[in-house]
């Protein structure tokens, strides 16, 4: 019972983190333009940097959480491998796109 509840909770946190990181990574440029329209336009680079780095951190969170739970034997190695694989499958292309946009903005 405890492992099932833990697995549901961990799966929920990983799913939320992946969705938020993906949205942040894909739409960071749109967020930056929106915030620039609402405030001064001098902070465009800052407005892009924050969601981009937050996206990368949110992609790292599920991997670290899965590794810690696997080391403590709270989840099996098979489930942790699946979680890490799915996270990397989503994180690598989105992070590369996010990095490309970030690099183009920084000049």
Name every residue whose Cβ is closer than 8 Å to that of residue 13 and which is 6 or more positions away in sequence. Answer: 61, 62, 65
Q: What is the pLDDT along the chain (107 residues), one digit of tens a residue?
A: 556 687 888 889 889 999 999 999 999 989 888 888 888 777 788 888 999 999 999 999 999 999 998 898 888 889 889 989 999 999 999 999 999 999 998 87
The pTM of this model reads 0.84
Name every residue whose Cβ is closer than 8 Å to that of residue 62 and which is 6 or more positions away in sequence. Answer: 13, 14, 17, 18, 83, 84, 87
pLDDT at res. 106: 85
Category of 73 on φ-ψ map: left (φ > 0), alpha (ψ -120 to 50) or beta:
left
Assess contact for 97 and 27: CB atoms under 8 A.
no
pLDDT at res. 23: 94
Classify the C-alpha dihedral 33-39-40-42 as positive or negative: negative
CA distance 31 to 60: 21
Q: Which tokens go with 81? A: 């491998």
pLDDT at res. 11: 85
> Can you give the residue ranges of every domain in the chain?
2-106
pLDDT at res. 3: 60
Assess contact for 43 and 36: CB atoms under 8 A.
yes
């Amino acid at each position: 019972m405890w492992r099932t509840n833990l697995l549901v909770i961990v799966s929920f946190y990983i799913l939320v983190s992946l969705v938020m990181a993906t949205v942040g990574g894909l739409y960071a440029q749109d967020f930056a333009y929106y915030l620039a329209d609402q405030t001064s336009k001098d902070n465009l680079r800052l407005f892009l940097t924050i969601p981009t780095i937050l996206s990368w951190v949110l992609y790292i969170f599920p991997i670290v959480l899965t590794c810690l739970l696997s080391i403590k034997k709270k989840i099996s190695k098979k489930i942790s491998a699946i979680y890490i694989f799915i996270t990397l499958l989503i994180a690598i292309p989105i992070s590369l796109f996010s990095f490309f946009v970030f690099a183009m903005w920084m000049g």
